[in-house]
Amino acid sequence: MEPMEKNGRVSSAVVWVSLATATAFEALTVLETQDKTVRAASPWQDDPYDVMMSLAQFTVPMLALVIALRLLTWRAPGGADRAWQTMRAAEVMTTLVGLTLAFEWVAVIARTPSSFSGWASVLISGLVVNSVLTVPAVLLLVRCRRRPGSSRSRRQDWLGDVVFVCRRIPVLRAWADADAVDWVRRRAMTVFVVVSTLAAAAITGAQAIGEHWTDPLLITWMLIVVATSDLAFCVISNAIAGFITRPPRTRTRRIAEAAMVAGCVAISVATAFRDALWSVLGTGTLTSVPALAALTLGAGAATSVIAAALLLARFPQGPSGPGRHHSDAAGVHLRRPGTNR
């Protein structure tokens, strides 16, 4: 019992360090994206840097919120599962922060030092501070991950903790029954799609109002780009941290979901590097919204088709027939190494 409690205290401390790092990152990110004067001086205001920063701006606080809420149930039953899964979520959050900082450093290196003055100098100073804070958080996460006794488990997922809390709140107690939990687990992908679409609608609406957009195609394109980016984040982060334990799925469905996620990621990558792609595939400057939509969404569709074909070839139909199922314990992978599943 004592080693387990000690590991729990260590994990909790590392999670708090990760949350502090994410808070400092988010404070600077909100400043540099929401204030027009500051944004105009930002060295990383343009793509491909802005795509990564925009993704982290919303996903990092979402992860920080669910991690902080789970700390409320830290001592509830299933502590070993909870500590491991929360650490994984902290790893995802810190990775997003680290990747965004790396993109920002590339933007700084790509620009001439003479252009750094006023707010640009302030933002670069903040970048240095965030980088210094992120390094120890990464080292602590790596060290804690290697501690003895850390193991992968999905017996107690995050949805179970939500039910645990709701059952102690009279107003929410009626909703926290086994049928509701089972419905969410069986329709996890539907939940991810709805949440991603609602978040994308809010972000796109705010962007359209702030930038005075009137082109329906441009608004629709951004809605699709943001929604697919959020959907990929939900599916991948769920596979890593185990927010919702999903029931077994057929081989066909797992391949379809993996191909869809690959296409969603490709849309974000194509959006970030659209000018470079257009210079290879097209002529002139990419200024047409229909061309922009065709380039980015076409890249996503093509990637999904290619990914599905590769996965079908890599994982041919097994002897158990089309009804063969796979658990979610392997994340987005179709087969757990070393087993016959």
57-84 burial, b at 16+ Cβ within 10 Å, e below that, comes to bbbbbbbbebbeebeebbeeebbbbbbb
Half-sphere exposure of residue 80: CA atoms within 13 angstroms, side-chain side: 13
Cα–Cα distance, 336 to 207 (Å, whole number): 42
Q: In whole numbers, what is the pLDDT of the chain averaged over residues?
A: 83
Listed as own residue / partner, the contacts of 315-324 with beta carbons closer than 8 Å and 24 or more positions apart are 315/251, 315/255, 317/251, 318/251, 322/250, 322/251, 322/252, 323/250, 324/250, 324/251
Q: In this predicted structure, what is the pLDDT of residue 120?
A: 86
In tens, the pLDDT along 25-35 reads 999 999 888 88
Residue 335 to residues 51, 90, 234, 253, 281, Cα–Cα distance (Å): 32, 25, 21, 13, 36
Higher pLDDT, residue 167 or 120: 120
Calculate what percentage of the chain has a pLDDT beyond 90.
46
- Measured from the Cβ of residue 5, the count of other Cβ atoms closer than 10 Å reads 11
Q: In this predicted structure, what is the pLDDT of residue 270?
A: 94
